[in-house]
């Protein structure tokens, strides 16, 4: 394979990293994963970890005059990462994001490492690192898209896109709040029915009109069981519906004329967001998260190596 | 003192209990506290705990023909308590609440124990146990009050009162959400400035108009520090302001014409609620929580022993 290797794509997150060997045309030759995310790496360990993981992919004669480009997005560029890639500012276009990449000094030749910047928003403070690359990948395949793109997760992100530009974004702590409340609050006693679709839809509907009563709604999950108001064991579905539903209701209230909604993600969580969006009347396709990440890294590779 | 003892008032909560020796006129002769709340008592231990705590207060010849009334509010009446006192329903008046008291069987004479019921709301499910007695005490001293009474706490309660009747109530998980987020979420890294009054007021103002964006606001506490948008170390004050502020905004949006707002509580938390209410233009007096509890127990004593 090594004679076809064109470059290496890396998504280096907090808890793990994923790498792809790419040929010159941007097709995937191989992939690998590791749990050596930002949290597990000492200050100077990034280069060693990277070289270990890609060693088998490199040509035998790999040296300074044929350095393989490595394009990295994610937490490797955080202040506590490999080398800080300062946040880019809004509005952000794919080319300007790529132009913000930093190159960490390396101990030996053979690789040319580029770490992409995250994105910041000062007014209505917010930050992302990694998701901006997925958004770039999404835009590459959806050049006419105008509206909000959702990236579900522990801290879900919603970015507004228009004319091939990221114009703003909002992070919601929905996933972390769900985890803490379901495992450690008084609601832990009410966590049955995770997949009760009827209860989930009802909860999403209950919070469809933005209001300030989320902190009260949460307690009704517990109280509903005590007073017999809940139809069966539906606490987990209710909690999920209230949390995801209030997030979506807040975005729907911000939709401009002609704005669409799209989802980037995978697994059960993306399906749940899609279901909540359908309660609001939106039929949103789910773009695969890996496809979006690779699309964004491809775009950065093209900018950085031309 | 024993020759003056008229009855005993008890507030038996989840984590502790408080007892007052009362004379026939309802004045306090003595008081004591214990950490033997509901969570620390085995099934049949309630009577033993009670008798141990009040032993010194009882007259030497205390027996069946001179049984001392003991009026108990709180979690002793929960399903997992001493004896279940089924929730009373809305609308609730002081006399009907007292009439719902249950008498647990005792192993010997000398006491006549009454456990007061909690209160439930089926439509918009909610429950309380103990706070209803504080509300009764509040109404005894404020017979003309119409509006919402707030009882801050881990699960803060807001009750609507009119014409000497509790007509509805809402519990908010604000205190528990604050504790979990400040200690265990990503926001734990941003918890400086607990007493920053300016940042607290600003956060309350930021959420003064009810909206669905609380889960986003929370993340701005973290992001504001990263992008330099927060003026100094204000995370804890912001979190407190967002959580308490969104709760109060939800209540203010429900105020009817002529409705007042009052607070029952003590300590820093009640002061913080008062401050948040002042941001909304309300000047709410704080009624002492013990005064309210004893007022409610006095009222129940009068109903149950006449």
* % of chain A with per-residue pLDDT over 70: 96
pLDDT tens digits for A120-133?
A: 999 999 999 999 99
CATH architecture of the domain with residue range A130-296: 2-Layer Sandwich (3.30)
For CATH 3.30.420.300, the residue range(s) in chain A are 1-118
Inter-chain residue contact B229 with A170, CB threshold 8 Å = no
For residue B180, the chain A residues in CB contact (below 8 A) are 180-181, 184-185
For residue B224, the chain A residues in CB contact (below 8 A) are 125
| B131-141 vs B289-304: helix crossing angle, rounded to 10 | 90
For residue B249, the chain A residues in CB contact (below 8 A) are 212
Distance, in angstroms, between A189 CA and closest chain B CA? 14
For residue B223, the chain A residues in CB contact (below 8 A) are 120-121, 125-127, 171
Best interface-test mutation with B: which of A215, A221, A276 has the largest number of B CBs within 10 A? A215
SS (H, E, C) chain A: CHHHEEEEEEEECCCCEEEEEEECCCCEEEEEEECCCHHHCCCCCHHHHHHHHHHHHCCCCCCHHHCEEEEEEEHHHCCCCCCCCCCECCCECHHHHHHCCECCCCCCCCEEEEECCCEEECCCCEEECCHHHHHHHHHHHCCCCCEEEEECCCCEEEEEEECCEEEEEEEECHHHHHHHHHHHCHHHHHCCCCCCHHHHHHHHHHCCCCCCCHHHHHHHHHHHHHHCCCCCCCHHHHHHHHHHHHHHHHHHCCCCCCCEEEEEECHHHHHHHHHHHHHCCCCCCEEEHHHHHHHHHHHHHHHHCC
CA atoms within 13 A on the CB side of B186: 20
pLDDT tens digits for A136-174?
A: 999 999 999 999 999 999 999 999 999 999 999 999 999
Distance, in angstroms, between B173 CA and closest chain A CA? 5
For CATH 3.30.420.310, the residue range(s) in chain B are 130-293
| Residue A221 · residue A183 · CB < 8 Å | no
Distance, in angstroms, between A147 CA and closest chain B CA? 18
Closest chain A residue to the Cα of B155, Cα to Cα:
A219
Distance, in angstroms, between B78 CA and closest chain A CA? 11
Inter-chain residue contact B173 with A127, CB threshold 8 Å = no
For CATH 3.30.420.310, the residue range(s) in chain A are 130-296
Inter-chain residue contact B213 with A215, CB threshold 8 Å = no
Q: What is chain A's mean pLDDT, rounded? A: 93
CATH architecture of the domain with residue range A1-118: 2-Layer Sandwich (3.30)
Q: What is the pLDDT along chain B (306 residues), one digit of tens a residue?
A: 545 899 999 999 999 999 999 998 889 999 999 999 998 987 669 999 999 999 999 987 766 567 999 999 999 999 999 999 999 999 999 999 999 999 999 999 999 999 999 999 999 999 999 999 999 999 999 999 999 999 999 999 999 999 999 999 999 999 999 999 999 999 999 998 778 999 999 999 999 998 889 999 999 999 998 888 665 678 999 999 999 999 999 999 999 999 999 999 999 999 999 999 999 999 998 999 999 999 999 999 999 998
Of B220, B226, B250, the CB nearest to A212: B250
Class of domain B130-293: alpha beta
For residue A78, the chain B residues in CB contact (below 8 A) are none
Closest chain A residue to the Cα of B230, Cα to Cα:
A125
pLDDT tens digits for A34-70?
A: 999 998 987 669 999 999 999 999 987 766 567 999 9
- ipTM (interface predicted TM): 0.93
């Amino acid at each position: 394979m090594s004679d076809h290797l064109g470059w290496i794509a890396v998504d280096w997150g907090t808890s793990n990293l994923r790498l792809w060997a790419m040929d010159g045309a941007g097709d995937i030759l191989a992939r690998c994963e590791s749990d050596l995310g930002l949290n597990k790496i000492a200050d100077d360990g990034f280069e060693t970890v990277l070289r270990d993981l890609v060693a088998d992919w490199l040509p035998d004669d790999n040296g300074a005059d044929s350095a393989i480009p490595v394009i990295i997005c994610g937490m490797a560029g955080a202040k506590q990462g490999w080398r800080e890639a300062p946040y880019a500012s809004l509005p952000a276009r794919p080319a300007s994001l790529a132009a913000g990449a930093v190159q960490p000094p390396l101990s030996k030749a053979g690789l040319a490492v580029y770490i992409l910047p995250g994105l910041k928003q000062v007014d209505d403070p917010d930050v992302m690192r990694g998701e901006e690359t997925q958004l770039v990948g999404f835009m590459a395949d959806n050049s006419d898209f105008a509206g909000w793109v959702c990236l579900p997760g522990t801290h879900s992100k919603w970015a507004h896109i228009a004319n091939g530009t990221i114009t703003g974004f909002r992070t919601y702590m929905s996933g972390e709040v769900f985890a803490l409340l379901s495992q450690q609050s008084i609601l832990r006693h009410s966590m049955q029915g995770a997949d009760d679709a009827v209860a989930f839809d009802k909860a999403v509907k209950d919070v469809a009109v933005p209001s300030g009563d989320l902190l009260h709604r949460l307690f009704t999950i517990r109280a509903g069981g005590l007073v017999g108001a809940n139809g069966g064991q539906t606490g987990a579905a209710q909690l999920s519906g209230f949390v995801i539903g209030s997030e979506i209701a807040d975005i729907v209230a911000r939709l401009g004329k002609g704005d669409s909604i799209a989802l980037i993600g995978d697994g059960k969580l993306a399906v749940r967001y899609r279901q909540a969006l359908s309660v609001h009347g939106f039929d949103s396709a789910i773009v695969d998260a890996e496809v979006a990440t690779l699309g964004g890294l491809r775009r950065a590779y093209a900018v950085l190596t031309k």
